[in-house]
Amino acid sequence: MDIIENFETVEVTTDLLILGGGMAACGAAFEAAHWAKLNNLKVTIVDKAVLDRSGAVAMGLSAINLYIGLKDGKNTLKDFVKYVKNDLMGIVRDDLVANIARHVDSSVHLFEKWGLPIWKDENGNYINEGQWQIMINGESYKPIVAEAAKNALKELGKNGSYYERVFITEPILEDDRCVGAAGFSLRENKFYIFRAKTVLAAMGGAAHIFRPRSTGEGLGRTWYPPFNSGASAYFTIKAGAEMTCQEVRFVPVRFKDAYGPVGAWFLLFNSIATNAYGENYMQTRSSELKKWGPYGLTNPTPANLRNYLMMLEVMEGKSPIYMRTEEAIKKIISRAGDEKAAKKKLKELESETWEDFLDMTISQALLWASTNIMPEEKPSEIVACEPYFISSHSGASGAWISGPEDLSPPEYQWGYPHMTTIKGLFAAGDASGASSHKFSSGSFTEGRIAAKAAISFCADYPDMPNINPEKIRELKKEVFKPLETFQIHKNYSNDPDINPNFIKPKMFMFRLQKIMDEYAGGVSSFFRTSKPLLEKGFEFLNFLREDSQKLAAENLHELMRCWENIHRLWQAESHIRTILFREETRWPGYYFRTDFPKIKEEWKCFVNCRWDPETGEWKMMKKEIIDLV
C-alpha cells in the first residue's frame, strides 16, 4: 500500500492564513481579528509548535529592545532610523524601519496592559537599559502575548482558529498568486491543505545552517532558537518572491558556551570587554574604525565592527576575551556611599545579574553556578557565535516587501504594505528583509501592520481561489517521500542511521553545517571567505541538493527534521549566491571577503535575488538605496 494512503487529507478554507507562532504571528492574529470581525472574514494561524512557547521569545527576555518613547519626547523617529542605518552600514529601508518605529510604543503599552512586568523608577517611568531598550521581567513574555492572540481569535467565534503542531512545507500558487500552504500534523496521520485569499509568512529566521560552537554534548545549544530552520525564507523563495539582504547574516557576541545575553552588562551596568591582558580593544584598536567610515566613526559603533575588533584580538592570540563584570560591579558599588549602602547595592546587583539570565537564558545561570563564577569577583568569557539569519535583530535577510503609501518612494511601494512581490503573500518579523532592529516588540508591531493590510487585500479580492486537485496529490506525495524512502530501504542494514540508500536528517544537517562553516565564512575560518571558497562550497551544496532526494524519516518527528533541513538548504544557497554577488566587505565581524577586503561606495545598494518557479533559475540584482533621512 502506498504510504500516503495512511494519511488523511484535511482541507481548511480561510480568508487570512497566518503561518508561524512567534511574536510577528501573534501580532498579526491580534490585529487581524479586529479587522476581520468588521468584514466577516476568517483568520487562521498555523504553527509547528505551541503558541505559548513558540518563536525566538519562547524562553523569555529580560528587556524589550525597541521602545521609542514618543509620548515622553525621549527620542524621534529620525534618530532611530539614523541609528539603524548606521548599525547596518547604510543598508536599510528607511520607510520600513520608520513605519514600525512609529507604531511600536502602542504595542509595548498593550504588553503592559496584558500583564507584562516592566521596570519603572520612583516616578513611574520605564527604566531604560539603553537609548531604545527598557527592562522587563520577561520569563512569561511569550505566554502573555500568545494568550492575547488566542483571545482575539476566540472573539471571532467560528471565524477564528489556530492549528498547533502542524508543520508547513510548501507554498501553493495559482496564476502567480499565493493561495495557501501545504503541511502535515506532527501528532496525527494528517496532511493539511490550507486554502486562503491571502497568506502571511512569519515563520522566523534560521539557525543551524552554520556549524555551531556547541557540538557533541552541547549540540542544540545556540543563541537563536534551534527550531528556527529557515521556513520563512524557503516559503517566500519557493513562491517566487524577490528576496533582499540574503548576505546580511548576524553574528552575535554572547557569553561563551551558554550564549547568555550581554546587553544588560554593556548598557545597564556599563561594563567593558577586554582581551586576556586587560586591554580595552575598543580603545587600543580605535584607529581600525577609520577604515570603515563613515559608519565606524559614529557613536554607537556598529555591532559588526565591535565584533571585528574583538576578532582581531583573537586572531593575534590575545584571547580569551572577557566581560569585566567584576569591574563594573565595583564601580557601581563605589558610588553607593557608606558600607551599609554598598552592601545593599551589591545585593541588588546580584539579584539583577542572575535574573537577567533566569528571564531568558537559564543555561547561562547554570553554567555560572557549575563553574563557580561569581560576577562580582571574576570576569566571564564572551565570544562571537556562529552566524544566524534573523532580520528582526542586527541581520537583514528576508523578503523584499512593499512599504507604506505615506512614507515609501514609488520604487519601494507597489501594493499593499508588507506584501511581497508575489500577489497575496505578505511577510513580517524575520520573514521580511531590510528592516532591522525590530526585536520582539517591533516584530509584533510589524505583524499587526502586515495583517491589517492583508485583511484589506481579502476585502478587495472576495473570491476564494481554487487549488488544482492534481497539485494537491503531487504535494502530498512529495511531503511524505522521506517516510516512503525509509520504509523501502530500512531492512538493508541493521542500523537505521547507516544505510547507503538514504540519509537521515541529522547527518544531512551536519554536512550542510560543515560546508557553510568551512566555505562560507563560519567560526572555524574566523568568518572569512572568498570567491574560490564560495564557489567550492556551492559545488558541495549542489551535491547536497542531490542527496536531499534521499532523505529518510522513521516517524513524523524525523519527517519534520527532513523538511527543516530542506528549508535550511535553500536559505544557505541564497546566502552563498548573494555573498558571491556582492564584491566587497561591508560587514566585517559578520563576514569578511578576503578577495575584496574593503567597503566600496558602488556597493552601497541592496542586493536582491529571485528564484523563478517556472524555470528554476536564479536572478541576482542591485536595488537603489533611497535615503529618507
How many residues belong to the chain?
A: 629
Of the candidates 425, 431, 387, the one whose C-alpha atom is nearest the C-alpha of residue 96 is: 431
pLDDT band at 335 (very low <50, low <70, confident <90, very high): confident
Alpha-carbon span 312 to 622, nearest angstrom: 31
**What pLDDT, on the 0 to 100 scale, is given for residue 1?**
53
**What pLDDT, on the 0 to 100 scale, is given for residue 628?**
95
CATH fold of the domain at 475-623: Methane Monooxygenase Hydroxylase; Chain G, domain 1 (1.20.58)
* Active-site residue, selected from the candidate residues 87, 247, 313, 356: 356
Q: Is residue 356 flagged as an active site residue?
A: yes
* Beta strand spans in 460-548 (E): 528-529
Topology match between the domains 253-384 and 475-623: no
By DSSP bridging, strand 134-138 and strand 61-64 are antiparallel
Q: Is residue 393 flagged as an active site residue?
A: yes
Q: Give the pLDDT mean for 415-435.
A: 97
Q: Give the pLDDT mean for 98-110.
A: 98
Phi first, then psi: give them for residue 8, nearest 5 degrees: -75, 135
Q: Is residue 129 flagged as an active site residue?
A: yes
Q: Is residue 165 flagged as an active site residue?
A: no
CA neighbours closer than 13 Å in the CB half-sphere of residue 313: 28
Residue scoring higher pLDDT (422 or 359): 422
Q: pLDDT > 90: what percent of the chain?
A: 89
Is residue 178 scored above 60 in pLDDT?
yes
Is residue 136 scored above 80 in pLDDT?
yes
* Active-site residue, selected from the candidate residues 195, 249, 254, 437: 254
Alpha-carbon span 503 to 499, nearest angstrom: 7
CB-count burial class (<10 Å; 0-12, 13-18, 19+) for 334: exposed
Q: Is residue 221 flagged as an active site residue?
A: no
CB 467 within 8 A of CB 172: yes
Helices (H), 57-114: 77-87, 94-114
Q: Is residue 87 flagged as an active site residue?
A: no
| CA distances to 421, 440, 479, 551 from 178, in Å | 11, 27, 19, 27
User: Tell me: the pLDDT tens digits for 313-332?
Assistant: 999 999 999 999 999 999 98
Q: Where along the chain do its domains lie?
A: 253-384, 475-623
**What pLDDT, on the 0 to 100 scale, is given for residue 470?**
95
Is residue 445 scored above 70 in pLDDT?
yes
pLDDT band at 338 (very low <50, low <70, confident <90, very high): confident
**What pLDDT, on the 0 to 100 scale, is given for residue 586?**
98
Q: Is residue 270 flagged as an active site residue?
A: no
* Active-site residue, selected from the candidate residues 440, 441, 443, 499: 440
User: Tell me: the pLDDT tens digits for 563-619?
Assistant: 999 999 999 999 999 999 999 999 999 999 999 999 999 999 999 999 999 999 999
**DSSP letter string over 396-463?**
--EE-----TTT--GGG-SSSTTB-SSBTEEE-GGGB-S----HHHHHHHHHHHHHHHHHHHHHHS-S
pLDDT band at 2 (very low <50, low <70, confident <90, very high): confident
Q: pLDDT > 70: what percent of the chain?
A: 100
Average pLDDT over the chain, rounded to an integer: 95
Phi first, then psi: give them for residue 425, nearest 5 degrees: -115, 115
Of the candidates 171, 202, 203, 178, the one whose C-alpha atom is nearest the C-alpha of residue 424 is: 178
**What pLDDT, on the 0 to 100 scale, is given for residue 352?**
83
User: Tell me: the pLDDT tens digits for 447-504?
Assistant: 999 999 999 999 999 999 999 999 999 999 999 999 999 999 999 999 989 999 999 9
Alpha-carbon span 149 to 23, nearest angstrom: 10
pLDDT band at 383 (very low <50, low <70, confident <90, very high): very high
Alpha-carbon span 297 to 495, nearest angstrom: 58
Q: Identify the CATH class of 253-384.
A: alpha beta
Distance of CA 345 to the CA centre of its chain: 36
Alpha-carbon span 22 to 54, nearest angstrom: 5
Alpha-carbon span 187 to 19, nearest angstrom: 18
* Active-site residue, selected from the candidate residues 195, 393, 586, 610: 393
Is residue 509 scored above 70 in pLDDT?
yes
485-488 CB contacts, 8 Å cutoff, 24+ apart: 485/550, 485/551, 485/552, 485/553, 486/552, 486/553, 486/554, 487/3
